[in-house]
Amino acid sequence: MLFFLMLSIVISCNRCKEDCDDPTNPECSNYVEPIPNNPCAGAVLTNADFVMYQSLLPGLTADTLIQFYHDCVYNKNITLHALQDSCEYHWIIGSDNYYTRDVTFNFGFEFVGQSIPLKLSVTRTPNTSCFPNDNGLDTLVKTVVPKVGCDASIWGKYYGAWDEGPLDSFVVELLPDLNDYPFCGNNVGFIGLNPDILDTCFSWQCHLVDNYIQFDNIPTFCYNPVGSAFLDSTKNKITVSYSISETNTLNTPRSSHLFKGHRIN
């Protein structure tokens, strides 16, 4: 009798073990051994990379800073921002030296067309436990070319469609007003923001940097588009986010659109 009792207990215990379904319990068949904490998780090498912004408006608030990649418009403030924090920073821009994480300056007309190096060197205490070869020093140089507004990269024709109608393609064209040389950003010409209107429509309230335009005050016969256009780092893909009136009458309901296109000239 005692033998059968012991056998029953063993069978019952084995059945309990078979039915176990807890991955944190070492007694269960689906137990998963925890991964030890990685002391290098989130650790990074010393890096002097930085981003470049140009001010669309005279102020320096975040919503007026437009990221650019190579070309800029002269006489508008540029802000450089080092990506890595907790470093010592040394910028060399022309003959000027700066020692803060962010620097702001602008180029006058005399620099138009020149390739100007922007050099950043950073120094910090390296994490040699994770990166034995990191000496805590890094340097990066990027080049910018100031332009007049009339030569901004964003001008041109783009073939694409609204997000809501990807099969209904059309052409949007952005034109500088060459009578406004060298700025060409006050009266900007648009064709195609309303695909049914092929006339050139001029906005008399625009703000321009090399790869971005903010526009407003376009005549009602063009259905009064209001919005912005942004050119990507390849200078070939554009995104135009805007709204237009549903009729050519002032103060009618408006519809919003997102045009995405690629350059065709």
Q: Is the pLDDT of residue 220 over 70?
A: yes
Work out the average pLDDT over 203-214. Answer: 91
Q: What is the pLDDT of residue 128?
A: 96
14-18, 115-119, 196-200, range with greatest mean pLDDT? 115-119
At residue 108, does pLDDT exceed 50?
yes
Pick the CATH number of 151-263 from 3.40.1710, 2.60.40, 2.40.128, 1.10.3470: 2.40.128
**Confidence at residue 15, expressed as pLDDT on a 0 to 100 scale:** 46
User: In the predicted model, is pLDDT for residue 169 greater than 50?
Assistant: yes
Residue 115 confidence (pLDDT) above 50: yes
| Stronger pLDDT, 62 or 56, i.e. the higher one | 56
The strands making up 50-55's β-sheet, listed across from edge to edge, are 65-68, 50-55, 78-82, 102-105
pLDDT: is 32 or 178 the higher one? 178
Q: Share the mean pLDDT of the chain.
A: 89
Assigned token pair, 105: 């300056």
Give the residue with greater pLDDT, 29 vs 141. 141
**pLDDT: which is higher, 105 or 58:** 105
Over range 87-111, report the average pLDDT. 96
Q: Where are the domains of the chain?
A: 50-147, 151-263
Q: Residue range 180-197: average pLDDT? A: 89
- The reply to whether CATH 2.60.40.10 applies to domain 50-147 is yes
- Residue type at position 259: F
Which among 201, 237, 209 is positioned nearest to 52, based on CA atoms? 209
User: Predicted confidence band at 251 (pLDDT cuts at 50, 70, 90)?
Assistant: confident
pLDDT of residue 60: 57
> What is the reported pTM?
0.82
| 156 and 174 Cβ atoms separated by less than 8 Å | yes
Count of all residues that appear for the chain in the document: 265
Of 105 and 13, more confident: 105
DSSP 228: E
